A and B are shown apart, each in its own frame.
Chain A
Amino acid sequence: MASIKRIQKELAECTTSSPAGISVTLPDDSDLHRWHVTLQGPSNTPYAGGAFGLVVSLPPDYPFKPPTVTFATRIYHPNVTNDSQGNICLGVLKHENWKPSTKLVGVLEAVRGLLAEPNPDDPLEARIADEYRQDRAGWEKTAKQYVARYAKGEITWPEKEEGKKA
């Protein structure tokens, strides 16, 4: 299947020459459609020093349909839901914007870019977005607290079936 072949290629690309601050593993070698990605918090951001787990699940008709990417690690960020689901608001992941020739490396880099530069104009957490705009110091403080509390130790990956819930 073309889909499998492409995923293999993308995985190879990500593992052999992984982009800065991104590392990819497969929780289950027989399942190419679920990736575990560890994202190093970009320096010069409150997230620096933290390690964030991302769960990437690829639909069966990938790359015709966009993958879903969620944070496994709690993070204090305007564009990530402040709950255990860790949903991300990212343009390229929306169905209408997804193009089959968008590659996962690009997606992962976009997520990392979001950590470096939050987009408060299109927030998932309006309160955090407001704080980000009006009280940057307060926001940074809380974000750092979150990092210290959640993003310092071993990443606890959610179970496969309940990928989004756990």
Chain B
Amino acid sequence: MDDDQRDIELSSLEAIYPELQRVDPNDPYTIFLEVPVNPANGVIVTFPNPTTDGAVPADGAVANGAGVRADHHGGADGGLAINPDHNPNNGPDSHRLSHLPPVRLEIGLGSGYPEEKPPSVSVSTNPPWLPDTVVRRLEEDGPRLWEEIGRDMVAYTYIDHVQQAAEDLFGLVDEKEGLEVDTQHKIAVLDYDIKAKKAAFDRETFSCGVCLDPKKGSVCHRMVDCGHVFCIDCLQDFYNNAIKEGDLAAVRCLAPGCAKEREKAAATEKKGKKVRTFISPSELLQIPLEPEVVQRYVTLKYKTELESDKNTIYCPRSWCNGAARSKKHKKPEGFELGEASDEDEGSEVEEDEAGSSGKMKPFKPEKELLAICEDCGFAFCSRCLQSWHGEFVRCSAPRKKDELTEEDIASLEYVKLHTTPCPTCAAPVQKTHGCNHMLCYRCQSHFCYLCSAWLHPDNPYQHFNIQPDGKRNSCYMRLWELEEGDGDDVGLGFAGGRGGGAPAGGAPIPVEHVVPEIEEPEDEDEAHEHARDDRQRDNHNAHGADNRQVGVAREGPLVLRIAGNPPPGAGRGGPRAAGVPPRAPVPPARGGHNQQHPLVGLAGHARAGRGAGGAPARRGGVRGAAQNAGANNRGAGRGGAQQRNGRMAAQGVQLFGPMLEMMRADALPDRLDAPQEAWVRQFVQLALEDREDLLAEMEQDPGFR
């Protein structure tokens, strides 16, 4: 009887393969069986790179994650290298797997089997990773075997045949060195491998090296990096304790010498590449440790890393002091430890070496300057520790905290108020007593204490007298002013040659006041009268100067370019001193240099409308009036406010405020103060001698006293 034969075969098959099942409970003769595919030595499965950048890369990312999990649970094949060497982006994505999804055999023993009909066989895998050719071949094997054994009961023979074929992966590996599987099945295939490994691992028994008890794999953990197995209880106890005590170095494999040996091996094998000997936070979570503990581990690890790096910049906010973001040490997000640090290590070291060999590190603004606090988000400059000012602001490192005390500030204020800078070296000089002819203690320049004008060493007193051309400057007859000295302790407070516009303070005079067309009646005639003469004389004198002092003549062109901008301070001073309408005296060409010019008095003289005529001439006259007024007041009491202002007005005109315009084309000169003026003067002087680089050295000179 046909049926009997099939029943006999099926019952023996069920005895051999207890996992045998029926496809349909109502059809006892169609059975299916899953044949496991566990190649003894594993197989390298390659997933070809997707040709399009569609959703597949995301797929791949997930699968990579799965691959990592595969490692964590170890394999049943104990000792097998289970680290997939997956390089997601370049080259084929390959993994060594030891479990592939099983082959499902569906065998139908129809009526007429075995005598007349072969069994109907269908082979499939889920997902369909098995190539169609193999599937077809296997399916054809059923009828073929049935024929071979003489049309008899072939089911067992066939199943056994497929099982044996599965052992060597149906011959696939021999052909290609590896198995190529469509990338769309990647996740499923990898996932199956993971689960199979985990199941196999769970069934195994291990002897925990810590508690020395034999433990089932299901309560054990295989270390990701080295493969040692410990029981979860011991790992939890040990790591919880270590992290609680902050003993981060202990958070490694518990096998004796394990981490060290791997370090050594890595060092000899491949220089420069560090082997990870600590345990990743994700592995700790898998053991599992409490998330809080792992978080503490991550935080402590990051903190240690930052603290051991001398380049770490901390937030300048005193209430924060968080570390600034850096490429080298990424702040951990959640449980992820930034691992970029390992990669950057090498280049960072090289940089350090370069930095120590040269005196200065190469300036890399984008890298070094902008720092953003990781904790409070404060963006600041890593050099000056002020809030971020952009890449192009020149700043300097802050002085050490206590360096500039209140005392220092007061001292600087005092210096500003009670000294006059040397026109050559800018050394602040305080007059304690005596006349206004000063000799710089540092560079031996002769200069006027009142206006900081450079004086000719041959006859420095000329400055305070009627000039050779018969003019008088603003310091005329003031040689003995402030005879008792300058400063709180020595008498009058005189802002010295720093006067300029600064002490006048207040808002700049509106333009309409500064450049009025109204003229002082007194001066008008005189101005007109002298305008032409003056110009001629000017020219003449300039030539004379050429003969006597080459330097002055060479300065000329420099000043010419900047003659257009009058310092408002001058205009301001005028009315206060003399009650005349404010003017904006445009310093004529050489106004700025008359101190060095033998004919110093020229520009400041009341009747010396020196311009080329017209408005400049008139303005010059006005300025002269202001000065005259100041001079007239002199008798009333020297050092008086009005008088000083008047004098300053004159200074503003005479001095070098306008010259700064060369450097700061649009800036208003009312910001000028004496040091700046002196600086310009000094710069010009040095520039003429081709020694302007000395200036930087002088500026660094702590010559301030």
Contact = CB atoms under 8 A, between A and B. Distances in A.
A103 B209 CA distance: 8
Interface in A4-51: 5-6, 9-10
Contacts, number: 41
A10 to B, nearest CB: 7
A92 B230 CA distance: 20
Contacts of B253: 99
B249 interface: yes
Contact of A5 (B209, B213, B237): B213
Interface residues of A, number: 16
A92 B256 contact: yes
Contacts of B238: 64, 100
A2 B233 contact: yes
Quick one: which of A6, A9, A101 has the most chain B CB within 10 A?
A101
A101 B241 contact: no
Interface in B222-254: 230, 233-234, 237-238, 241-242, 249, 253-254
A53 interface: no
A84 B94 CA distance: 63
A99 B211 contact: no
Contacts of B237: 2, 64
A100 B238 CA distance: 8
A89 B238 CA distance: 25
A6 B212 contact: yes
Interface string A95-107: 0100111110010
Quick one: which of A9, A96, A102, A106 has the most chain B CB within 10 A?
A102
A9 B208 CA distance: 12
A106 B255 CA distance: 13
A101 B211 CA distance: 8
A2 B234 contact: yes
A63 interface: yes
A6 B210 contact: yes
A83 interface: no
Describe A's contact surface by its main secondary structure: loop
B358 interface: no
A61 interface: yes
B213 A101 contact: no
Contacts of B209: 100-101
A101 B231 CA distance: 11
A2 B230 CA distance: 14
B249 A101 contact: no
A92 B255 CA distance: 12
Interface string A59-84: 00101100000000000000000000
B254 A99 contact: yes
Quick one: which of A9, A10, A63 has the most chain B CB within 10 A?
A63
A45 B317 CA distance: 67
Contacts of B212: 6, 9-10, 103
A101 B230 contact: yes
Contact of A100 (B213, B234, B249): B234
16 contacts: A2-B211, A2-B234, A2-B237, A5-B211, A10-B212, A64-B237, A64-B242, A92-B256, A99-B253, A99-B257, A99-B258, A100-B209, A100-B210, A100-B234, A101-B210, A101-B256
